Amino acid sequence: MRRKITVLPGDGIGKEVTRGAVEILETVAERYGHEFEFQYGEIGGQAIDNTGSPLPEQTIETCKNSDAVLLGAVGGPKWDNQPSHLRPERGLLKIRKELNLYANLRPISYYSSLSESSPLRKEIIEEVDFVIVRELTGGLYFGKPSERTTHDGKEAVVDTLFYQKDEMQRIIELAFELASKRRKKVTSVDKANVLESSRLWRETAEEIAERYPEVELEHMLVDNAAMQLIRNPRQFDVVVTENMFGDILSDEASVLTGSLGMLPSASISTQGPNLYEPIHGSAPDIAGKNIANPIAAILSAASMLRLSFGMEVEAEAIEKAVGETLDSGSRTGDIAEGQVRTLTTTEMVAEIKGAI
């Protein structure tokens, strides 16, 4: 079966790391006899420069007409002072809406050869292996009204936290599905001691848990979760939470294992193609120098094979190749710590290719 993959390189190192990830996908296609067709689209700052829009219609069409989307990164200082409809990040928010991406999955796992770059003690970080599942479509980010106002004659402001129960159901269900294939534990994070939305979230989690008797459900308040991520991250398997809590916790979690350049993410659609992207940004400080770490993008491609195409063996082959490459001492600058020689982006890609 022929799979159509839309690649949106975007800005800065997005271009360099997606090029690497595409090469790895081509290697897998050759090695395992698959047919991947790559089509390219514009997004972010470069799309603004070329078309006047951070997400041209053409890009949306191309994405919808494909089996999966691989995104690099958007943004850069060049567009920082643009009016808001001409900001690269607009392209990102819009594509989430257009593709109905309701869940963002961030696996946090540890590569043993990188223990130097974690802020945690080796014996703690060694066993870290969990996934954060963040709701993407609701909550404070999209609530209306969201506005400046006045109250009792004084300046005031309102943001609205709005969720429909079915939005909670579908994301919590996804977390249980994931957990049932992993270590069978879901940690549902909320603020049920204060927020009504969190109380409905908790009830919903309890209802769904009844359908997954083999999966343990635990509730945790978000402030405690923020602390537990540092104190004992080994306790987590699947963490599920609403949009803003997830935004904050996933950034916190992403530094546990070391470099930003190592971590992939997957955004899951209600229907249509999922989107895969490294969690890092466009890194303008190192863009165009061929020194960015391509591993986050490459692991994002592995997630694509696993989640969109059901190619578990192929996904594992990529992950294993990354592990072996790191074990052999190969490092890009961001994870080099004390290393004498560091690899360029293209050299790192070539090593991983070789290992596959």
282 binds ligand ATP (CB under 6 A): yes
Question: What are the Cα distances from residue 71, in Å, to 17, 214, 229?
Answer: 10, 35, 28
Q: How far is the CB of 88 from Mg ion (least distance, A)?
A: 12
Question: Is 190 designated active site?
Answer: no
Angle between helices 165-180 and 196-209 (to 10 degrees): 40
Measured distance CA(255)–CA(118) in Å, rounded: 7
Measured distance CA(60)–CA(172) in Å, rounded: 28
- Both tokens of residue 165? 């129960």
Among 108, 229, 286, 305, binds ligand ATP (CB under 6 A): 286
Reduced to 3 DSSP states, what percent helix, strand and coil does the chain have, rounded to the nearest 5? Answer: 45, 20, 35
Contact indicator for 296, 73 with CB cutoff of 8 Å: no
Question: Is 334 designated active site?
Answer: no
Question: Is 251 designated active site?
Answer: yes
281 binds ligand ATP (CB under 6 A): yes
Q: How far is the CB of 75 from Mg ion (least distance, A)?
A: 8
Question: Is 141 designated active site?
Answer: yes
Between 111 and 176, name the residue whose CB sits nearer to ligand ATP. Answer: 111
Q: How far is the CB of 261 from Mg ion (least distance, A)?
A: 13
By CB under 6 A, which span of 160-168, 171-179, 194-202, 283-291 interacts with ligand ATP?
283-291
Question: What are the Cα distances from residue 56, in Å, to 83, 95, 96, 263?
Answer: 17, 10, 14, 28
261 binds ligand ATP (CB under 6 A): yes
264 binds, among ligand ATP, Mg ion, none (CB under 5 to 8 A by kind): none
**CA end-to-end span of the chain:** 22
247 binds ligand ATP (CB under 6 A): no
By CB under 6 A, which span of 112-120, 145-153, 280-288, 346-354 interacts with ligand ATP?
280-288
3-class secondary-structure state, position 352: helix
Q: How far is the CB of 35 from ligand ATP (least distance, A)?
A: 29
How many residues bind Mg ion (CB under 5 A)? The answer is 1
Q: Is 290 annotated as a binding residue?
A: yes
Question: Is 327 designated active site?
Answer: no
DSSP per position, 8-69: EEESTHHHHHHHHHHHHHHHHHHHHT-EEEEEE---THHHHHHHSSSS-HHHHHHHHTSSEE
Measured distance CA(12)–CA(72) in Å, rounded: 9
Please identify which of the residues 67, 237, 247, 334 carries the catalytic annotation.
247
The strands making up 129-135's β-sheet, listed across from edge to edge, are: 35-40, 2-10, 68-73, 274-278, 264-269, 101-109, 129-135, 238-241, 185-190, 216-221
Q: How far is the CB of 143 from Mg ion (least distance, A)?
A: 23
Measured distance CA(94)–CA(163) in Å, rounded: 19
Q: Is 82 annotated as a binding residue?
A: yes
Between 223 and 337, name the residue whose CB sits nearer to ligand ATP. Answer: 337
Q: How far is the CB of 260 from ligand ATP (least distance, A)?
A: 4
Between 314 and 334, name the residue whose CB sits nearer to ligand ATP. Answer: 334
Please identify which of the residues 141, 184, 185, 212 carries the catalytic annotation.
141
Binding-site ranges for Mg ion (CB under 5 A): 281
> What residues act catalytically?
141, 191, 223, 247, 251
Binding-site ranges for ligand ATP (CB under 6 A): 13, 17, 73, 75, 260-261, 280-283, 285-286, 292-293, 296, 334
From the annotation, which residues make up the binding site for substrate? 96, 106, 134, 223
